[in-house]
A and B are shown apart, each in its own frame.
Chain A
Amino acid sequence: MLTDQERAHLEEHIAHYPEKRAGAIYCLYFMQDKYGYITKPSLNLVSELTDLSTTQLDELITFYTLLRRRPVGRNIMRVCDSISCHTRGAKKVLEAAENATGKALGEIANDGSVTVLPSICLGLCDRAPAALINDDRVEGELTPERMRMILTELAEEEIKLSEKPDYQNIISMLTPQDAPAKTNEEVM
């Protein structure tokens, strides 16, 4: 679940607070970043670290929309639907996303490439309607066409990655040269 180092890091973080439970959100984010969402074993682990029951952690997770208990695609796209973006056509952008992925908002696209989520104001009103991809890439002045383009781009990213000529080489480079040759038993 966690390496000793990671566990020590979380314990150190929790020790900053007078009450253990104050560190719960940090730990939950940590687990989410590691696994993409908060799995049941992660929940038990955080419960053990912070002295909160799993129900109390679930209360916390359901309260905050940025914490998730369900798996998501490789990329997460949050499309703002608050007032500024709404007036500039966020609804149509979201509809386009639903049509393009063939899935309702919040579900994983068939190829696993993306999950599109509606979001409250992202603070990007000057570029409305706006979206945030993977918490770091900003897309502004969205139109349904632009949305379809972005989704296609995200879907093709993986294919491109596998088509890269040096992809296999990279893996072989990462393997230690002096690794002992596999015995017959191990291969079997």
Chain B
Amino acid sequence: MGTIYIDDKAVEFEPGQNVLDAARKAGIDTPYFCYHPALGAAGSCRICAMETVPQKEGEKPRTVMTCSIPAQDGQQFRFKSPKAKQIQKAVVEFYMTNHPNDCPVCDEGGDCHLQDTTISVGHAYRRYDGQKRTMPDQFLGPLVYQTMNRCVTCYRCVRFYQDYALGDDFGAMGSSNHVLFRRTEDGAFDSPFSGNLVSVCPTGVFTDKVYRRKYSRTWMLEKAPSICSGCSVGCNIEVGGREGTLRRVQPNNEESKVNPYFICDRGRYGSHGTESHSRPKYVSEQGKVVKTSPLDALKIALVRAEGHVGILGSVEEDLTTNLALKAIAKEMNAPFSPFISPQQEALTKTAVAANHNAPSISDIEQSDAVFVVGELTEHAPMLDLAVRQVIKAKKDVYVLHATPSHLVTALNKLQRGHVKALAPSQWQDCLTQINTAVHDGAVEDLWIKDVANALKQAEKPVIIGVAELLNTADISLLNTITESLAPAAKMAIALPSAGSVNAALTAQENSCAELMTQIESDKIKTLVVVGSDPLNTNNPHWHALHDKLDQLIVIDKVLTKTAHLSDTLLPLAAWPERDGMTINYEGRLQRFSKAFARKTATIDAHSMIETLMKSPETIEQWLTELAPTLPQAGDDGIIIEKDKLKCTELPLEQKTNPPAIQSTQPQVALSKWFGEGYVADHAPEIRSLKPGSSASINPKLAASLNLSNGDQLMIICGDQKLVRPAVISSQVADLTVALNQADMRLLQADIASPLCLERTSELFIDADKKEEIKNIIGSASVIMMGEA
């Protein structure tokens, strides 16, 4: 702590802050472009100039750039001196000589840092009447739109993309007055964080291309602080809606402990999935729209069921919804479960229970050794961004994975040999060995020794696992490893979905099994499904259960497979359209508030309680038990006490370990894409970037099958067969076939299920391969096209 003086006003600063930082925190409206709280200063824009006040006799006032001067006790500056003002004015005038005055047609207009600065500095009239510089724009895919002429060369975009997010397909090209910020080739960005260019750019060079299609000026938006429903990290977002539709999503709170400045593309663009044309908007019965209010329809349907009701909540929904459903179920004496399978229930509960000592994002960023198990980017992108800060700080990061991951690419660039690709069935063995090595046991594998040493030597080690890819034994192994490290060691398990903790806390013991048994034994004839998609799993069980039901009521915000098969389909309010509360992976209770109302009536937790329950107090009571003071929307949330986060009962049923498979047999590994999600799958823009179905294998396996990139590969799992083009990637573990979730469903395969692989014969024969094929077939004549 210390004090500096700006225009004779005392300004407190923290050690390590620069003068601009301190001035900004103290509420002095200093202009700046190249400086960004997360990216630091480049010293390139020259607008944050202030004048020093002479401290000694004979000293003259100097002009300094405050962003590159560390604050020291007793320094004095003049921000409002004529000299400083003149510099600021001249710099803005210089930028405005080239900047097009296109604010009326610019998406950034009204929300523009350059516009604000130009006005606050007082530059109103253009003196320069020469030609402006014109730059070529580049097509950057469906998410980000570029207008290069507006650039003020602050380099924030490149500093974010290359230095902060460790991307390498976007850069600053050229020099002096001809700097272009672009990719080497046209097309969409590789990075899962590219949408942040929109937030980082102080002017309108990068704008949100999805928002652009349904644009509204910022002051016309109905905005509210909300929480992202994309994954279990629970990022703070600001949602802007207008006329009953979602328009824009952006990071909200600079002071947030979860995500101060950035969000991932799944959060920013995936939320638009609720705007898809197929979204249920009206009550429909047997596929026909009925003109009633959704709540009335629900009430009538429940009355019709005569007490034979079961309720299926969702791991995608918030705490309030699951609590409301639980309370309603209790009042109706109906079974309730938020999980679609006992396995999912067991795994989620174990993962939530293991997260009792989870690091926050800033804990991860400040850690000095990180061990990641699984493809983190593809499951919880913002945790990956935090790990990238550790990589950047040249602290050890180790990754154990089975399929290609963005984090592996980023890590391979800066830390060689820190990555290990292992087939999923070998993970448990590897973790056991790491555990042995951490406890000073003898281990042969050098990589395992390195991991154990790095974790042991670190003061604040962090272990991050991905719940969807681990079984309960793996999670408890990670827990044991964490417990034997330094006292500050922490472990986080990235949970499968945004509401995993909510679901784990509300579910009774074996709730899903109970629900399923009751349907099977014909006790339940009506099932209410809220925000869940049970008929879209690789579990054929649910299809049998569906046949037993008289009535399937689905309440959802996107049109899922289950919604297609429903008898009654009712619209559910998405998170931005209602108030609610949720808990993220670290046990942080967060509140979100309603940004806008849809034009047609939707169902939400509160209205359900009001219409369906006689005594609605139960939820409030439960919440006050959970946390004495409840958070407000837009704040940091409240960390729930650790013992309250423990699930009601620990699962009795362990997730079955993968069947023992022969060491030479290939196996399935789940390969996700970072933009996938329950809602995001319905957002057309981000979905258009999703890679097609393929089977990724590593070069060694490809060679043994005599496959080259793009060849058709027949995958056989039990009775199921599937043909997919092979993609050869060195990031896939040996004897592993990386498949996406949909393909795994088709194959009815689980992670680490054994496979048989075959090369399929080619449908078309290349003319140049004629000779080769003749040799293979032997004397039989091959008649090619065009050959007599």
Contacts and interface: CB of A to CB of B under 8 A. Distances in A.
Interface in A53-72: 53-56, 58-59, 62-63
Contact of A53 (B172, B173, B174, B413): B413
B183 interface: yes
B175 A54 contact: no
Contact of B184 (A51, A55, A63): A55
20 contacts: A51-B413, A53-B168, A53-B169, A53-B413, A54-B168, A54-B184, A55-B162, A55-B169, A55-B171, A55-B184, A56-B162, A56-B168, A56-B171, A58-B171, A58-B173, A58-B184, A62-B175, A62-B180, A63-B174, A63-B175
A55 B413 contact: no
A58 B173 CA distance: 7
B5 interface: no
B173 A62 contact: yes
Contacts of A62: 173-175, 180
Nearest to A56: B171
Q: How large is the interface on A (under 10, 10 to 19, 20 to 34, 35 or more residues)?
A: under 10
Given A55-B168, A55-B169, A62-B173, 15 more contacts: A51-B413, A53-B168, A53-B169, A53-B413, A54-B168, A54-B184, A55-B170, A55-B171, A56-B171, A58-B184, A59-B171, A59-B172, A62-B180, A63-B174, A63-B175
Contacts of A51: 413
Nearest to A65: B175
Interface string B166-189: 001111111100001001100000
B174 A55 contact: no
Interface of A: 51, 53-56, 58-59, 62-63
A51 B183 CA distance: 19
Contacts of A59: 171-173
Contacts of B170: 55
Contacts of B413: 51, 53
B215 to A, nearest CB: 31
Nearest to B180: A62
A54 B162 CA distance: 13
Contacts of B184: 54-55, 58
B183 A55 contact: yes
A63 B174 CA distance: 4
A77 B175 CA distance: 22
Interface residues of B, number: 13
Interface string B447-488: 000000000000000000000000000000000000000000
Contacts of B173: 58-59, 62
B189 to A, nearest CB: 11
Interface string B412-447: 010000000000000000000000000000000000
A53 B175 CA distance: 19
Interface centre among B168, B170, B171, B183 (most CB of A within 10 A): B171
B617 to A, nearest CB: 59
Report, nearest first, the 6 A-B pairs whose CB atoms are least far apart: A53-B168, A62-B173, A55-B171, A59-B171, A63-B175, A62-B174
The A contact surface, by secondary structure, is: helix
A69 to B, nearest CB: 10
A59 B171 CA distance: 6
A2 B176 CA distance: 34
A124 B357 CA distance: 71
A75 B183 CA distance: 31
A40 B422 CA distance: 33
A58 B184 CA distance: 7
A41 B180 CA distance: 23
A39 to B, nearest CB: 14
Contacts of B180: 62
Nearest to A54: B184
A87 B445 CA distance: 72
B9 to A, nearest CB: 42
Nearest to A69: B184
A21 to B, nearest CB: 12
Interface centre among B183, B184, B413 (most CB of A within 10 A): B184
A37 to B, nearest CB: 15
A59 B180 CA distance: 10
Contacts of A55: 162, 168-171, 183-184
A27 to B, nearest CB: 18
A51 B180 CA distance: 23
A169 to B, nearest CB: 39
A53 B171 CA distance: 10
Contacts of A63: 174-175
Nearest to A43: B184
B53 to A, nearest CB: 39
A76 to B, nearest CB: 20
Contacts of B172: 59
Interface in B532-585: none
Contacts of B183: 55
A62 B182 CA distance: 12
A63 B175 CA distance: 5
A172 B162 CA distance: 54
Contacts of A54: 168, 184
A124 B677 CA distance: 64
Nearest to A55: B171
A56 B168 CA distance: 8
Nearest to B172: A59
A63 to B, nearest CB: 5
A47 to B, nearest CB: 10
Interface in B66-118: none
Interface in B149-200: 162, 168-175, 180, 183-184
Interface in B586-620: none
B479 to A, nearest CB: 37
A19 to B, nearest CB: 13
A8 B693 CA distance: 42
Nearest to B170: A55
A159 B184 CA distance: 38
Interface centre among A53, A54, A55, A63 (most CB of B within 10 A): A55
Nearest to A40: B184
A119 to B, nearest CB: 15
A125 B429 CA distance: 74
A83 to B, nearest CB: 17
Contacts of A58: 171, 173, 184
B644 to A, nearest CB: 47
A72 B515 CA distance: 74
Nearest to A47: B168
Contacts of B175: 62-63
A54 B171 CA distance: 10
Interface in B399-420: 413
Nearest to A64: B175
Contacts of B169: 53, 55
A56 B163 CA distance: 12
A138 B693 CA distance: 60
Nearest to A51: B413
B197 to A, nearest CB: 15
A146 B685 CA distance: 59
A54 B175 CA distance: 18
B595 to A, nearest CB: 37
Contacts of A53: 168-169, 413
Contacts of B174: 62-63
A28 to B, nearest CB: 15
Nearest to A62: B173
Nearest to B173: A62
Nearest to A59: B171
B403 to A, nearest CB: 22
B153 to A, nearest CB: 13
B625 to A, nearest CB: 53
A54 B173 CA distance: 12
B160 to A, nearest CB: 14
A14 to B, nearest CB: 16
Interface centre among B168, B180, B183, B413 (most CB of A within 10 A): B168
Nearest to B168: A53
A136 B183 CA distance: 35
A55 B175 CA distance: 15
A63 B173 CA distance: 7
